[in-house]
């Protein structure tokens, strides 16, 4: 799923990526895939500080 979210980031599909991130966090807020998707979403929105926090959470 993290590969799909990264593909959406590359394609700049912000709304689809946002929906994916929300769904993944709702399904399992402790999964690294969810936080990777959320990080990609915030990165696409140019909110890099939050994106970095989410990527760090994904690798914990």
Q: What is the CATH number of the domain that holds 50?
A: 1.25.40.10
Contact 40, 17 (CB under 8 A): yes
Q: Could you report the per-residue pLDDT of 13-35, keeping only the tens digit for each?
A: 999 999 999 999 999 999 999 99
Other C-beta atoms closer than 10 Å to the C-beta of 7 total 12
Which pTM does this prediction carry? 0.91
Residue 16 domain boundaries: 2-58
Residue 57 structure tokens: 């959470």
Angle at 13 between CA 11 and CA 15, to 5 degrees: 170
Three-class secondary structure of residue 30 per DSSP? coil
Asked if the model's pLDDT at residue 6 lies above 90, the reply is: yes
């Amino acid at each position: 799923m993290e590969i799909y979210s990264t593909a959406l980031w590359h394609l700049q599909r912000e709304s689809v990526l946002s929906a994916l991130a929300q769904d993944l966090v709702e399904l399992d807020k402790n999964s690294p895939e969810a936080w990777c998707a959320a990080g990609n979403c915030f990165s696409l929105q140019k909110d890099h500080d939050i994106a970095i926090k989410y990527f760090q959470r994904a690798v914990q």
